[in-house]
Amino acid sequence: MPAGTLYRGREGMWSWVAHRVTGVLIFFFLFVHVLDTALVRVSPHDYDTVVATYKNPVVNLMEYGLVAAILFHALNGLRVIAVDFWSKGPKYQRQMLWSVVGIWIVLMAGAFYPVLQNTLRTLFGS
Amino acid sequence: MSAETSIPSDTVEPTPTSAGAYGPDNPAPVIEPPRARTSRSPKKASRTNFEMWAWLFMRLSGIVLVVLVLGHLIIQLVLDGGVSKIGFAFVAGRWASPFWQLWDLGMLWLAMLHGANGLRTVINDYAEREKTRLWLKTLLYTATVFTVFLGTLVIFTFDPNIQ
């Protein structure tokens, strides 16, 4: 595969794949999330019962995964906008992807305790 | 996509010995343009610029959604004990303010339309049969309209003193 001439198989393709996969996952969660929120219109008790699921350690971990998907999709989306509208965007698309990955790792490390605090406190005491 | 291409498949993947030295006897790999017209393309060209507006909408809504969604995540999952504080009382407290009602309404509409258009692209890319595409998109649009209207109704008719 001649590097630099074919997009296929390189950073550009894999970021495109990751953007798609995270986008579809987020969209399916959005359906569920609007439906569970709609329960506030049914009764406070029903809403609180369903929201209790979100506080379960396993589901809490999935929320961390959701945050991971949203953060990547958001950062890479900004990179796509830069590639499309910034004259030097296509030239620096690779560097921008690695910046996205770097910022993503920092934000994910920072989100670890805040997002999982409910589980961490339940499992390991306060 | 390959309906009208007549390039032998072995010219697409250059052999290790030939890579780099292209010439009349060893042509460089030919890649069909992504939107090349094939026998399966629509006969009439589109008279509207729908795809261009959809492309622009994805970028503009994307920028707004970065602010709306990340703000939402920080409030719901990070501040004040994370997910543990969420309950009916918390929702009632936030929707008492028109600012957060408008925030959530904007987020609902933009995220649903952004996601629906994204999934429309995915369906167009992978569902090859005309009928499959039609059915998947009908399902997608039905679910999208239902969810957007349900969410809007819930935001506007929310009653903190229900029961």
Q: Taking the domains of chain B in order of start, what are their residue ranges?
A: 62-157
- One DSSP character per residue, B92-156 reads HHHHTSHHHHHHHHHHHHHHHHHHHHHHHHHHHHH--SHHHHHHHHHHHHHHHHHHHHHHHHHHH
Predicted confidence (pLDDT) per residue in B95-152, tens digit? 999 999 999 999 999 999 999 999 999 999 898 899 999 999 999 999 999 999 999 9
Amino acid at site A22: T
Residue A8: predicted pLDDT: 66
Question: Residue A65's domain is classified under what CATH number?
Answer: 1.20.1300.10
Residue B152: predicted pLDDT: 96
Torsion sign across C-alpha atoms A111, A112, A114, A115: positive
> Using CA atoms, how far apart are residues A96 and A102, in angstroms rounded to an integer?
10
Task: Note whether residue A88 is domain-resident.
Answer: yes
Residue B128: predicted pLDDT: 85
Instruction: Inform me whether the C-beta atom of residue B83 falls under 8 Å from chain A C-beta atoms.
Output: yes
Task: Look at residues B18, B105, B77, B160 and name the one whose alpha carbon lies nearest to residue A34.
Answer: B105
Residue B40: predicted pLDDT: 67
Average confidence (pLDDT) over A82-102: 93
Q: Residue A74 pLDDT > 70, yes or no?
A: yes
**Which has more pLDDT, B45 or B16?**
B45
Q: Residue A7 pLDDT > 80, yes or no?
A: no
Predicted confidence (pLDDT) per residue in B1-44, tens digit? 444 444 444 444 445 554 567 888 888 887 777 677 777 676 67
Fold of B62-157: 3 helical TM bundles of succinate and fumarate reductases (1.20.1300)
ipTM above 0.85, yes or no: yes
Partner-chain residue, chosen from A38, A80, A115, that has the shortest CB–CB distance to B77: A115
CB atoms within 10 A of CB A84: 13
Partner-chain residue, chosen from B31, B66, B150, that has the shortest CB–CB distance to A38: B150
Whether A30 sits inside 8 A of B111 (CB atoms) is yes
Let me know: does B4 contact B38? Beta carbons within 8 Å: yes
Task: Note whether residue A5 is domain-resident.
Answer: no
Task: Look at residues A81, A78, A96 and name the one whose alpha carbon lies nearest to residue B56.
Answer: A81
Band of residue A27 on the pLDDT scale cut at 50, 70, 90? very high
Average confidence (pLDDT) over A49-67: 92
- On chain B, the residues whose CB falls within 8 A of the CB of A114 are 77-79, 82
Query: Residues in chain A whose beta carbon is closer than 8 A to a beta carbon of chain B?
Result: 2, 6, 20, 23-24, 26-27, 30-31, 34-35, 37-38, 40-41, 43-45, 47-48, 51, 54-55, 60, 63, 67, 70, 74, 77-78, 80-81, 84-85, 111, 114-118
Average confidence (pLDDT) over B39-62: 85
- Which neighbouring-strand residues pair with A60? none
SS (H, E, C) A3-67: CCCCCCCCHHHHHHHHHHHHHHHHHHHHHHHHHHHHHHHCCHHHHHHHHHHHCCHHHHHHHHHHH
Partner-chain residue, chosen from A6, A40, A70, that has the shortest CB–CB distance to B91: A40
Task: Note whether residue A66 is domain-resident.
Answer: yes
Task: Look at residues A87, A72, A88, A92 and name the one whose alpha carbon lies nearest to residue A12.
Answer: A92
Q: Residue B71 pLDDT > 90, yes or no?
A: yes
Partner-chain residue, chosen from B20, B82, B150, that has the shortest CB–CB distance to A34: B150
Amino acid at site B32: E
Instruction: Inform me whether the C-beta atom of residue B1 falls under 8 Å from chain A C-beta atoms.
Output: no
Domain span at residue A100? Answer: 11-124
Band of residue A121 on the pLDDT scale cut at 50, 70, 90? confident
Task: Look at residues B87, B80, B108 and name the one whose alpha carbon lies nearest to residue A115.
Answer: B80
Record the tokens describing residue B15, joined without a space.
Answer: 């052999």
Task: Note whether residue A107 is domain-resident.
Answer: yes
Band of residue A28 on the pLDDT scale cut at 50, 70, 90? very high
**Which has more pLDDT, A34 or B127?**
A34
Residue B23: predicted pLDDT: 83
Task: Note whether residue A2 is domain-resident.
Answer: no
**Which has more pLDDT, A62 or B43?**
A62
Largest CA distance in chain B: 81
Domain count, chain A: 1
Predicted confidence (pLDDT) per residue in A76-89, tens digit? 999 999 999 999 98
Average confidence (pLDDT) over B64-69: 96
Task: Note whether residue A116 is domain-resident.
Answer: yes
Record the tokens describing residue B40, joined without a space.
Answer: 């399966």
